[in-house]
Amino acid sequence: ISSCCYLNRRLNQLSSHDPLWKRHCKKYWLISDEEKSRRNQGWRSIFISTFSDLGRYIQYYATLKKAWDDLEQYLGQWCPRMIGSLKESVREEDLDAVEAQIHCKLPDDYRCSFRIHNGQKLVVPGLMGSMALSNHYRSEDLLDIDTAAGGFQQRLGLKQCLPLTFCIHTGLSQYMALESVEGRNKYEIFYQCPDQMARNPSAIVMFITGTSYLEWFTSYVNKVVTGGYPIIRDQIFRYVHDKDCVATTEDITVSVSTSFLPELSSVHPPHYFFTYRIRIEMSKDALPENACQLESRYWRITNAKGDVEEVQGPGVVGEFPVISPGKVYEYTSCTTFSTTSGYMEGYYTFHCLYNKDRFFNVTIPRFHMVCPTFKVSTA
């Protein structure tokens, strides 16, 4: 009995030793030394008070808080007007009220994210990326909890699905399945795609974008803050660039990035829509007399079945750009495949401005386009 009393005394002294709680505060709650000083509390009391509020999210909080912090820091530098659209966190009782309203449990990683930021206001540009092509434009906002709850679906084809994003131009949303119904896995995230060949309007095919909220949100943020998505006119554009997809001919470098557009695609009938963005740049070290003008283009387009289509024509998107040392020309175009993947390659023909009799071809590197994983409707 005496030994037990002594042991308990030592455990009590150990658990009250403030420096031991510093590591846990930094690991689980990302509390910095500066924040501790501002709070004017010990590490132990900070850990306990934070745990009493956010304890159910201890396995998610640090990952999601870091993602939000990284995103805010990046937006502050590159897209400052987007910072003002972010909404403050919600309370536990607000999330509980939403669960009572929709009669479904929200996953803890989703709830945890909204304890940090309650999505954003319905504004343009949207936090979850933009896309522009000719007269087609979309920009997706991350919905706040009340707007998401208002869009909760119980209709056939989208039963028990909660919208995560929304585009005011297209009506496009990414949904999260809150239950495993209609062929979906619980907490799977997807774009809906109506089956145009089915008579049943509830026949909805899914283009899957994530297996959980944590994976979906953090992978997107990582792509943004590492420069994986370009910033164009103060907006995040969801073009994906393969670092190997670059070709240099003489002083001219051509690089390509691509994007899949689910809102313009369908599984039945098979019609997969892709857009690509091409960057043509002449080295700044090139001689001034190497300035040239794009004359024509040649494309070799191959689908997953090996079917080949060849396209040749003047200029690009109706233009005949002039390239000189240090200058860059970029343009966007699109293509469709009847298969889930395909690739394009080709060349541009240029003529020299200072020697109009000289023509030469500039290689366009092969670039692949692949539709995301999808599930066919069970309806």
The candidate with the shortest Cα–Cα distance to 124, out of 165, 167, 89, 87, is 167
Is residue 5 predicted with pLDDT exceeding 90? no
For the chain, percent of residues with pLDDT exceeding 70: 100
| Among the four given CATH numbers 3.40.50.300, 3.20.20.140, 3.30.300.130, 3.40.1580.10, the one describing domain 61-226 | 3.40.1580.10
Q: Are 333 and 275 in contact (CB under 8 A)?
A: yes
Say what the pLDDT of residue 110 is. 98
Where do the domains of the chain lie?
A: 9-56, 61-226, 239-372
Count CB-CB contacts under 10 A for residue 23.
Answer: 11
**Assign residue 158 a region: left if phi > 0, alpha if psi is -120 to 50, beta otherwise?**
alpha
Rounded CA separation 122/143 (Å): 8
Say what the pLDDT of residue 198 is. 87
pLDDT per residue over 228-241, tens digit each? 999 998 999 999 99
When pLDDT is averaged across residues 108-128 and rounded to a whole number, the result is 96
3-state secondary structure of 186: coil
Average pLDDT along the chain: 94
Count CB-CB contacts under 10 A for residue 198.
Answer: 15
Q: Which residues pair with 322 in a beta bridge?
A: 293
Q: Looking at the domain that runs over 239-372, which CATH code has it been given?
A: 2.60.40.1470
When pLDDT is averaged across residues 246-275 and rounded to a whole number, the result is 96
pLDDT per residue over 37-88, tens digit each? 999 999 999 999 999 999 999 999 999 999 999 999 999 999 998 999 999 9
Is residue 354 predicted with pLDDT exceeding 80? yes
Instruction: Say if residue 270 is preceded by a cis peptide, omega within 30 of 0.
Output: no
When pLDDT is averaged across residues 202-225 and rounded to a whole number, the result is 96
Encoded amino acid at 108, one letter: D
DSSP annotation of 158 reads S
Instruction: Say if residue 201 is preceded by a cis peptide, omega within 30 of 0.
Output: no
Is residue 16 predicted with pLDDT exceeding 90? no
The owner of tokens 């994983």 is 373
Say what the pLDDT of residue 307 is. 96
